[in-house]
C-alpha cells in the first residue's frame, strides 16, 4: 500500500494528457506560427499595397503605417484581458476563439477594397491574435510537468524567432507569384487545420477558483494599455515625442495604468495580483524581456531598409538573409535549459544580454559595401543571444506563478514584450529618422526645382528620398549615394542606442534575477505558493 509520502502529487498532469503533450505542443506552435507570420509578413507587402489599383490599394505612407499599427494597438491593448479570460473561461476555448477570429480577419484583409478596410481588418486580426498568444504559453504550463517546462518553453521561444524570420521569406515568395492579398489568405488553411487539431488534441484548463470578476480593473487595463501604445506609435510616426497628442496620450495611459495598480492593490478580487512583481524572478525577467525586445524590434525594423534600400536586395533576398537569426534561435532555444541547469538563469540571461548588446553595436561596422557575411555573422550571434534570453526569462516568469494563473502570467509576459517592441520601433525609429533628415537635408536643399513640401517629404526616410530621386530622372542620380550614406550613418547612431538598452537589460538581469539554486537547476525557481496547482490539467 502506498504511503502518503510515496503517493503521486496532486498537481501531476493526467496520464492521458501527459502522453500526448508533444502533439499538443506541435498544435500550439502551429497557432503561434500563423499569428506571428500573419503580422511580420505585411512588411514585405507594403510596397505592393502602396501601388495604385489593380496592383495594390494605392495606400499612402500613413495608411500603410496604420495597417501595421492597428494590429499592434489592439493586440497589446487586449492581451492582458485575453489571458485573464483564459484563466476564467478555459484556455482551450479562448485559443479556439482567437484562432477563428484571426482566420476571419485574414480572409477579410485579403479581400480589402480600400486602405481603410485593410486597417479595420488588421485590427480584427490583432484582436484574435491577442487571445492566441497568452493561451499557448498557459496551456504549455498545464500539459507539461515542471521539469519539462523549460524544454517546452525553449521550443516555443524558438518557434517565435523562426516565424519572425519566415514572414519576409513567405511574403516574398507569395508576392512573386500572386496578388498582395495572398499574404493574408495563406493563413486560412493553416487556421482551419490547426483549429481542427485543437478540438481533437488540446486539453482545456482553467483557474478552479477564479473568484469574482473585476470589471473596473479590466477596463482600466485596456484603456491604459491602448492609450500608452497609441502614444508610442504616434510618436514614432511623427518622429517627435514633444507633440501634445503624443506625450498627452502616453502620459494619460501611464496615469490610467497607475490607477489600475492602485485599484488592484486594494481590491479583494483583483484581475491581477500586483504583488507578483515583488518577486525578483518575475519582475526582473519581465523587465529584461521588455528591454531586449526594445532593442531587437527597433533594429529588425530598420534592418529591412538597410538590406533593401541601402544595399539593393529584393524582399525575398532580404528575408533569406535573416535565416541565420531564425536558425540560431531554433537550434539553441530548445537546449538553453541545459546551460541554465549548469550556470543558472542569472548568468545565462546576463551573458545573453551582453552578447545582444555586442551584436547591436556590431551593426555600426556595416557600410554600403561591407561584405554580406559580416551581417550574417551578426544575425547568427543575435539569434544565439535571443535563444539564451527569452526561454529562461519566460520560464522564470511562468514558474513564479501558480499554474492556475498561467494565462495572466503569460499575458503579462507578452504585454511587456509588445510594449517594449513598440517602444523600440517608435523611439529608435525616431532617432533614425531625425539623424537621417539632418544628414540628407543639405543635399536636398541643393536640388533645383523641389518645393518646400516635396523637400520635407523627401527627408522623411531613405525610401522617400529614393522615390523623389526616381521621379527626377538622371538629375536624381546624384541623390542616391548621399541618401544611402546618410541612412547608414543614422543606422550607426541608432544601433548604439539599442546596444545601450541591451546593456541596461544585462544590469537588471545581473542584479535582480535569482542565482542558481541547489537541487533545482531550472530557471525561475518559484515561491512556495507558486507550487499550488490545480488537481489536473483537464481533458
pLDDT, tens digit (0-9, with 9 covering 90-100), for 314-333: 777 877 888 888 788 878 87
Residue 523 is predicted with a pLDDT of 41
Model confidence band, residue 534 (pLDDT cutoffs 50, 70, 90): very low
- Quick: pLDDT tens for 218-270: 788 778 878 887 887 777 667 677 788 888 888 888 898 888 888 877 777 76
Most confident of 187-191, 207-211, 317-321, 466-470: 187-191
More confident residue, 61 or 131: 131
d(CA 72, CA 129): 10
Quick one: pLDDT at residue 239? 66
Instruction: Please calculate the CA angle 318-30-233 and round it to the nearest 5 degrees.
Output: 55
**Structure confidence by residue, pLDDT tens digits, 265-289:** 777 776 666 777 777 777 788 888 8
pLDDT value for 378: 92
Cα(238)–Cα(426) distance, integer angstroms: 9
Residue 319: what pLDDT? 74
CA 198: distance to chain centroid?
23
Q: What is the pLDDT of residue 403?
A: 63
Q: Which residue has the higher pLDDT, 536 or 505?
A: 505
- Least Cα distance to 233 among 54, 319, 225, 125 occurs for 225
Residue 375 confidence (pLDDT) above 50: yes
What pLDDT is attached to residue 526?
Answer: 41
Element (DSSP H or E) covering residue 505: helix 477-512
% of the chain beyond a pLDDT of 90: 6
For residues 187-212, average pLDDT = 80
- Amino acid 108: pLDDT: 92
Residue 459, pLDDT > 50, answer yes
Q: How far apart are CA 131 and CA 102, in angstroms?
A: 9
* Burial class for 373, CB neighbours closer than 10 Å (0-12, 13-18, 19+): exposed
Cα dihedral 211→214→215→219 (10° resolution): -140
In this prediction, residue 13 carries a pLDDT of 66
Q: Return the ∠ at Cα 243 (arms to 242 and 247), rounded to 5°.
A: 70
Look at residue 366 and tell me whether its pLDDT is greater than 70.
yes
CA distances in angstroms from 220 to 77, 214, 225, listed in the order given: 10, 10, 8
**Shortest CA distance to 293 belongs to which of 141, 137, 413?**
413
Per-residue pLDDT, 102: 92
pLDDT score for 519: 39
> What does the block give as the cell for 257?
495604468
pLDDT tier, 207 (very low <50, low <70, confident <90, very high otherwise): low
Average pLDDT over residues 370-387: 90
With a cut of 80, say whether residue 14 has pLDDT above it: no
Q: CA nearest 299: which of 170, 393, 385?
A: 385
- pLDDT, one tens digit per residue, over 80-93 is 778 777 777 788 88
* pLDDT over 80 at 349, yes or no: yes
pLDDT band at 376 (very low <50, low <70, confident <90, very high): very high
- Comparing CA positions, the residue from 219, 513, 269 lying closest to residue 393 is 513
DSSP strands (E only) in 386-525: none
Average pLDDT over the chain reads 77
Grid cell locating 119: 486597417
CB 139 within 8 A of CB 91: yes
Please give the Cα distance from 53 to 114 (Å, whole number).
10
Say what the pTM is.
0.76
Task: Write out pLDDT tens, residues 166-179.
Answer: 777 777 777 778 87
* pLDDT band at residue 104 using 50, 70 and 90 as cut-offs: very high
Amino acid at each position: 500500500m502506498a504511503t502518503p509520502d510515496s503517493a503521486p502529487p496532486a498537481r501531476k498532469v493526467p496520464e492521458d494528457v501527459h502522453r500526448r503533450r508533444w502533439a499538443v505542443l506541435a498544435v500550439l506552435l502551429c497557432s503561434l506560427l500563423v499569428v506571428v507570420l500573419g503580422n511580420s509578413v505585411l512588411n514585405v507587402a507594403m510596397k505592393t499595397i502602396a501601388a495604385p489599383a489593380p496592383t495594390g490599394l494605392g495606400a499612402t505612407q500613413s495608411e500603410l503605417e496604420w495597417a501595421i499599427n492597428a494590429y499592434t494597438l489592439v493586440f497589446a491593448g487586449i492581451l492582458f484581458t485575453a489571458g485573464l479570460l483564459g484563466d476564467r473561461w478555459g484556455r482551450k476555448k479562448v485559443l479556439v476563439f482567437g484562432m477563428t477570429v484571426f482566420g476571419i480577419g485574414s480572409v477579410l484583409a485579403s479581400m480589402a477594397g480600400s486602405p481603410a478596410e485593410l486597417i479595420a481588418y488588421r485590427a480584427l486580426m490583432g484582436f484574435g491574435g491577442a487571445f492566441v498568444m497568452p493561451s499557448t504559453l498557459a496551456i504549455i504550463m498545464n500539459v507539461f510537468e515542471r521539469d519539462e517546462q523549460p524544454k517546452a518553453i525553449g521550443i516555443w521561444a524558438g518557434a517565435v524567432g523562426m516565424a519572425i524570420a519566415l514572414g519576409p521569406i513567405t511574403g516574398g515568395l507569395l508576392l512573386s507569384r500572386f496578388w498582395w492579398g495572398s499574404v493574408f489568405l495563406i493563413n486560412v488553411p493553416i487556421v482551419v487545420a490547426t483549429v481542427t487539431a485543437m478540438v481533437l488534441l488540446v486539453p482545456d484548463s482553467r483557474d478552479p477558483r477564479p473568484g469574482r470578476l473585476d470589471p473596473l480593473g479590466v477596463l482600466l487595463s485596456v484603456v491604459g494599455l491602448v492609450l500608452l501604445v497609441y502614444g508610442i506609435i504616434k510618436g514614432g510616426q511623427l518622429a517627435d515625442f514633444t507633440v501634445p497628442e503624443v506625450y498627452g496620450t502616453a502620459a494619460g495611459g501611464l496615469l490610467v495604468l497607475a490607477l489600475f495598480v492602485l485599484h488592484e492593490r486594494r481590491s479583494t478580487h483583483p484581475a491581477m495580483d500586483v504583488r507578483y512583481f515583488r518577486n525578483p524572478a518575475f519582475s526582473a525577467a519581465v523587465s529584461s524581456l521588455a528591454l531586449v525586445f526594445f532593442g531587437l524590434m527597433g533594429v529588425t525594423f530598420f534592418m529591412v531598409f538597410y538590406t533593401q534600400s541601402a544595399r539593393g536586395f529584393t524582399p525575398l533576398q532580404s528575408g533569406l538573409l535573416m535565416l541565420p537569426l531564425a536558425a540560431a534561435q531554433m537550434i539553441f532555444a530548445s537546449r538553453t535549459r541545459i546551460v541554465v541547469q549548469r550556470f543558472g538563469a542569472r548568468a545565462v540571461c546576463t551573458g545573453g544580454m551582453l552578447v545582444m548588446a555586442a551584436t547591436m553595436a556590431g551593426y555600426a561596422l556595416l557600410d554600403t559595401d561591407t561584405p554580406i557575411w559580416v551581417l550574417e555573422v551578426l544575425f547568427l550571434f543575435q539569434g544565439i543571444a535571443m535563444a539564451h534570453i527569452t526561454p529562461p526569462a519566460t520560464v522564470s516568469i511562468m514558474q513564479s506563478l501558480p499554474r492556475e494563473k498561467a494565462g495572466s502570467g503569460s499575458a503579462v509576459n507578452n504585454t511587456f514584450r509588445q510594449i517594449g517592441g513598440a517602444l523600440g520601433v517608435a523611439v529608435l525609429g525616431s532617432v533614425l529618422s531625425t539623424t537621417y533628415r539632418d544628414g540628407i537635408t543639405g543635399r536636398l536643399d541643393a536640388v533645383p526645382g523641389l518645393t518646400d513640401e516635396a523637400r520635407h517629404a523627401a527627408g522623411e526616410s531613405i525610401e522617400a528620398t529614393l522615390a523623389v530621386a526616381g521621379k527626377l530622372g538622371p538629375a536624381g542620380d546624384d541623390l542616391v549615394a548621399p541618401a544611402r550614406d546618410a541612412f547608414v550613418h543614422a543606422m550607426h547612431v541608432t544601433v548604439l542606442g539599442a546596444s545601450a538598452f541591451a546593456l541596461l537589460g544585462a544590469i537588471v538581469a545581473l542584479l535582480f534575477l535569482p542565482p542558481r539554486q541547489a537541487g533545482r537547476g531550472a530557471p525561475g525557481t518559484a515561491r512556495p505558493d507558486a507550487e499550488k496547482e490545480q488537481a489536473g490539467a483537464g481533458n
